[in-house]
Chain A
Amino acid sequence: MTGTARAATLVAPRRRRGVRLLFFQVAALSRSARERLATPERSEGVWLFLKCVLVALAGAAACNGAHDGREVVVGSKGFTESVILGEMVAALARGAGVRVEHRRQLGGTEVVFRALETGAVDVYPEYTGTLTREILRNEAAGRPLADVLAGHGLRMSQPLGFDNSYALAMTEARAAALGIRRISDLVAHPELRLVFSNEVMNRGDGWPGLRAHYGLPHEARGMDHDLAYRALASGGADVMDVYTTDAEIRAYALRVLTDDRQFFTRYDAVLLYRADLPARAPAVLAAIDRLQGRIDNPTMIALNARAKLDRVPESEVAAGFLAARVGGAVAAPREHVLASIARRAAEHSALVGLSLLAAIALAVPLGVVAARRPRIGRVVVGAAGLLQTIPSLALLVLLIPLLGIGSPPAVAALFLYGLLPIVRNTHAGLVGIPESLQISARALGLPARARLRLVELPLAMPFIVAGIKTSAVIAVGTATVGALVGAGGFGQPILTGIRLDDFGLILQGAVPAAVMAMGLEALLGAVERRVVPRGLRPPR
């Protein structure tokens, strides 16, 4: 069977399962929230409506080319090493004839791990130390890691070969001059000046533990990581903490000291994948196997340096390594800069457009209800305000179990953020209608719904449109955060640019986003001139 044919037979049942799961989860969430809050009967309808909107949004966004529709989805975290490894897995899977999508630089461990658990991602690179110390720290104690993972429906490959843990480093020249190779060698040199990043200075398993473990006589100082490299290079300090695969180790010609008494936890790189992957895509698993034990620390440092310091795209770094050492990889097709800007513009517009339309559809009726029933109004406006205070990354992470990764959680988050300005302005616009106009409308013999349609909403229109404008501009800006959960858009180059310290790349995202915000503002201004009659505009 060819890869494409297999993809076609495999994708259909998966998608159905995903949608069913989604419905179940949404229902469960709303049920538990209802029980927790013991909401009065009246808000039942609002909940139902919200539920429908979320499901509809997720459906729409999923059709919009989200996590389904590909046979295998590779994930990676938002730092260069993870992206390179993700590119390797993707290239090998592609070489095995499987349709692959690489959701690169997702916004952190929590995001990717949840995405893997929910099936939005099939495989991603992880570190054993992160699993035992961070993600699974409550269950990992005293049990084999593989067993704990099996409980989550996950498996782990053999180590890839390198260990990206904390370590101490010195310049090669100074270390050679003093004959220092191991951390225990430092004991004989109390005159050395040690500088550590703040997290290492303060954590129990950082400097205080290290000092006690080795009996080091030194006093250490806290220093920013980037400054510490420069301090070592200029001779202002002698020893610093590093990650053992930092590209800067090559750039600054540092010697990593051996942790001869095994103080630091090992952070062996592995590939984490779903337990159903071998059955679904055995070719991918075979490809993964070929990476095991192939990348040692010097190799990874060199690869990181190629991407980070030499500015070679991660896909090329990965392809170069695979061609030389592994073979059987197929590189992703390269995209022209303009084509990628156009694609991101399309993704960004879809995020903003979809969420804004949904926000209008819910917020205007909510504003009407709020204006009609002052007590409900206070609750609704308060709740919308509360949503606004949730940090965007936290909201996205909360939405992942519900909606997976990609555009659905991003659209849902933008939708929730878009509610407040529209609800508040609709409410204010309706409440502010002069009493004599409200009475006149009633005295004419117009029933409530007709009053709303013919008199009240048109009178509130300038306020409503102003609220929509505010929401739209907020959405264009906030949508850049969607890149953290793999939603694409202009946030993607911004994230990459920040990661690689590449100002040009940041501008490739920031400038079009600003242009889009201004364009949308102008577009809505034109809409405003159409829907707000001359009689309501301020006199010229």
Chain B
Amino acid sequence: MELRLAGVTKRYGAGVAVDGIDLTFASGRTTALLGPSGCGKSTVLRLLLALATPEAGEISVDGRPLPAHDIEALRRRIGYVIQDGGLFPHLTAAENVTLMARYLRWDPTRAAKRLQELATLTRFPADALARYPNELSGGQAQRVAIMRALLLDPEVLLLDEPLSALDPLVRTELRDDLRGIFRSFGKTVIVVTHDVGEAAHLADVVVLMRAGRVVQQGPFATLAAAPADAFVTAFLATGNGTRVPEPRG
């Protein structure tokens, strides 16, 4: 699935979250949306899921504009992991993962088989499947969220800061696992992150954003070797965006 934003602008109140952006996410590639917090990365994901409507520009899927109706069918072709995981506290890990199977009235054996596959893929302990989210560790919760996003075997996987809430040891472990998952998944992946290391480690292509615009995009090595401007240099040098000053004026 190829996703495309052409001249898209999205405002929230007085502020501009995304400012006339042009972006293409090619099929089968892993892209990292990188940038300081508040630069519009998360908004791009919400626009792609039609969770937010742009004020200007066009969003298209495989060359066709986002449908105005039957948006649910499109969303089922896209997996989404929200920043804090978004696990439903009233459902066990297994029930969270298979919620859509229940809604779509899958045969229980089919759902159980798919659950097993996903637990293996995400290296999630089988005995923890019966636990509720408040009984899981942070890393386990993220794995459940990823399993839930992958249940319907989507063509695209969107992850919003999948590692930010984890402590460093768990973070490294899950990061490595994520790379394995993306490889075996072999489809379009978009990861939102403010961490340069994560972007470099996970993505084929890095899109560096600032204040709702794209500053530079390409393989991480290209950005590192030929930064487009001083912001790129500074952002890559700090390892994450938190200490890069915003442009003045």
Contacts and interface: CB of A to CB of B under 8 A. Distances in A.
B100 A445 contact: yes
Contacts of A533: 90-91, 132
B103 interface: yes
Contact of A440 (B73, B86, B92, B103): B86
B100 A439 contact: no
Interface in B16-52: 46, 49, 51
A455 to B, nearest CB: 6
A447 B75 CA distance: 11
A219 B91 CA distance: 79
Interface residues of B, number: 30
B100 A443 contact: no
Contact of A436 (B49, B82, B99, B103): B82
Contact of B90 (A439, A450, A535, A539): A535
B72 interface: yes
A450 B80 contact: no
A337 B75 CA distance: 66
Contacts of B75: 442-445
A447 B82 contact: no
B88 interface: yes
B90 A461 contact: yes
A539 B134 contact: yes
A534 interface: yes
B82 A440 contact: yes
Interface size band for A: 20 to 34
A202 B122 CA distance: 86
B84 interface: yes
A459 interface: yes
A446 B72 contact: yes
A455 B100 CA distance: 11
B72 A445 contact: yes
Contacts of B89: 459, 535-536
A535 to B, nearest CB: 3
Given A454-B103, A458-B91, 15 more contacts: A439-B51, A440-B82, A440-B86, A442-B49, A444-B75, A445-B73, A445-B75, A445-B100, A459-B88, A533-B90, A533-B132, A535-B91, A535-B92, A535-B135, A536-B90
**6 closest Cβ pairs, A-B complex:** A535-B132, A440-B86, A445-B75, A445-B76, A443-B80, A445-B72
28 contacts: A436-B82, A436-B86, A437-B88, A440-B86, A440-B87, A441-B88, A443-B51, A443-B78, A443-B80, A444-B76, A444-B100, A444-B148, A445-B75, A445-B100, A446-B72, A446-B99, A455-B88, A455-B90, A458-B88, A458-B91, A459-B90, A461-B90, A533-B90, A534-B132, A535-B89, A535-B91, A535-B133, A539-B134
Interface of B: 46, 49, 51, 72-76, 78, 80, 82-84, 86-92, 99-100, 102-103, 132-135, 148, 152
Interface of A: 436-437, 439-447, 450, 454-455, 458-459, 461, 533-536, 539
